[in-house]
Amino acid sequence: MGAPDRNGNLGYWLGDWPRREPERVALIDLHGGRERTVSYGALEARLDRVASALTHRGLAVGDRVIISVGNRTEFIEAMFGAMRAGLVPVPINTRQGADVLGYIIENCSPRGILAEPAANGAILEIAAAAGVETRIAVDGADGVPPGWTEYESLLAGAAADFVPPALPAEALCFLSYTSGSTGRPKGVPLTHAGQLWWLDAYTRYWPPSPSARNLVAVPLYHKNAMAGAIKPRLHTGGSVVLMPSFLARPFLEAVARHRVTHISGVPTVFTLILEERDLLESLDLSSLELAVVGSAPVHEELEAAMAARLGVPVLQSYGLTEGGPVMLGPPTDGRPVPRGSAGLAWPEGEVKLVDRDGRDHSSDGELWVRNPGVAPGYYALPEVNRERYVDGWLRTGDLFHRDDEGFYFFKGRVDDMFNCGGENIYPKEVENLLLTHPDVVDACVVALAHETKGQAPAALVAVRAGAAVDEAVLRQYCLENGPAYAHPRRVLIQSGPLPLTGARKVDRAGITTRLSAAFGVLGG
């Protein structure tokens, strides 16, 4: 497979494949309604050209470079080409508003930016106003703004035989920003050494086949795409089909047309896919070998439905950008993972559960992780670091149950759990119950203020088209099939998908605001 390591640089994660099989397919890019096939040899040359071009513009080891590009080959070129030059790419959520974009630029002080105007035009003015020196426009359909350099022209004049610089110990490979759903996004710096350790461990314990092919429709700036497909698949000679965005029917059609073997995504992706019953029955999906769902709470009902309708094994993935990123996985001896579990602790690295009193617990508590891939600390946030890092351990903020065989089951976020009249309620458990109703497609349960109990659950529920179910029916269903204290006191029903964040996760903060406006303080 070859080492992805030239001077300990993650930018060389393609390893020996470009030299050994330069014509081997690396990417099939569906951006813009056209299909581009990119070989390993061509991708390698483009990565070197990006590194050469950025270095020639005066950017030096450690300089931050904003990457604001959609799901297309140029994102991968910019991201890993910048790494080769020792720069620190900062991939950003292209759906963020101007205030958040401005904060990120102010926070990380970039010297360069590669931006696709069509992905988020606001970033162009913000970067220029902030005085970002090197500004490069990717595919400016309406022309290149003044003060910006056109990407393809820049690469055409750059050398394709770049020599990487020596990197200092613990050099950063990229700086990611969290979604910021509960406040300003936090910068997560990750090191070349840590990410190379993680990639090596992943491919040693679960070696992927060089013939495997992933379909990626979730944003490339997100861990689900990078750790779940781009890094491990292209490190091991496989290929990736890139979709510009997720739409359920084109997604399934791409699986069939390109003979995709592995699909992954957040739960909402699969909820919408499973609604396309006609395509699931008519398309040839026999190439599929595995479906992986994660990056948000995964309901057992969804996992079971995926296995039944897709006809392939389903794995629940768990991870967080600052935590490795993934430290739970399937057993290396081939044992099946119980439904609802994210797997066992990895053979390398450490995990433990800690209760609310700060004591290690054998079966229930907050997951803490410690491994070389953990971020060294949130960027320029010393107070947050003192709270989240303890003796090298990262407090994930995620609650888990561990069974007698060592399998971990996600219960919810520490911040999501709430107390209702003396009873602890985990929203995921109430959502699981709602999803067992035959008319419910998706559900989000949040805490609202209650007259006597402090807080109580309320739900936003998406139902099947034409379903006659109403609020009273769903409330009664929960009372009859679950603990009375946990039943949703109010239910708002809609026919379309639940609202999502830019990372395609259910927007819990937005839903809480919406339900609070609809119902006010709960009673009864």
Q: Tens of pLDDT along 306-358?
A: 999 999 999 999 988 999 898 999 999 989 999 989 999 999 989 999 998 89
pLDDT digits (tens, 9 = 90+) for 366-398: 999 999 999 999 999 999 999 999 999 999 999
In a domain, 131, yes or no: no
In a domain, 481, yes or no: yes
d(CA 114, CA 237): 27
Listing DSSP states for 348-402 in one string gives SSEEEEE-TTS-EESSEEEEEEESTTB-SS-TT-HHHHHHHEETTEEEEEEEEEE
User: Which domain, by its residues, includes 486?
Assistant: 418-519
pLDDT digits (tens, 9 = 90+) for 33-91: 889 999 999 999 999 999 999 999 999 999 999 999 999 999 999 999 999 999 999 99
Residues in contact with 484: Cβ distance below 8 Å, sequence separation at least 6, in sequence order:
none
In a domain, 471, yes or no: yes
d(CA 443, CA 424): 19
Residue 363 CB neighbour total at 10 angstroms: 11
- Joined together, the tokens standing for residue 90 give 């900062």
d(CA 298, CA 514): 23
In a domain, 495, yes or no: yes
pLDDT band at residue 524 under the 50/70/90 scheme? low
Is there a contact between 141 and 152 (Cβ–Cβ < 8 Å)? no
Q: H/E element holding 235?
A: helix 231-235
pLDDT digits (tens, 9 = 90+) for 180-233: 444 688 999 999 999 999 999 999 999 989 999 999 998 999 888 999 899 999
Secondary structure of residue 33 in the 3-state scheme: helix
In a domain, 514, yes or no: yes
In a domain, 448, yes or no: yes
**Mean pLDDT, to the nearest integer, of 482-491?**
90
pLDDT band at residue 268 under the 50/70/90 scheme? confident
pLDDT digits (tens, 9 = 90+) for 87-114: 999 999 988 888 889 999 999 999 999 9
In a domain, 432, yes or no: yes
pTM here is: 0.85
DSSP state of 335: P
Q: 427: domain CATH number?
A: 3.30.300.30
For residues 466, 490, 301 and 425, what is the CA-based torsion angle, rounded to 10 degrees? 180
Q: What is the 3-state secondary structure (H, E, C) of 481-500?
A: HCCHHHCCCEEEEECCCCCE
> How many domains does the chain contain in total?
1
d(CA 183, CA 423): 28
In a domain, 515, yes or no: yes
pLDDT digits (tens, 9 = 90+) for 277-293: 999 999 999 999 999 99
Q: What are phi and psi of 348, to 5 degrees?
A: -120, 160
d(CA 387, CA 182): 16
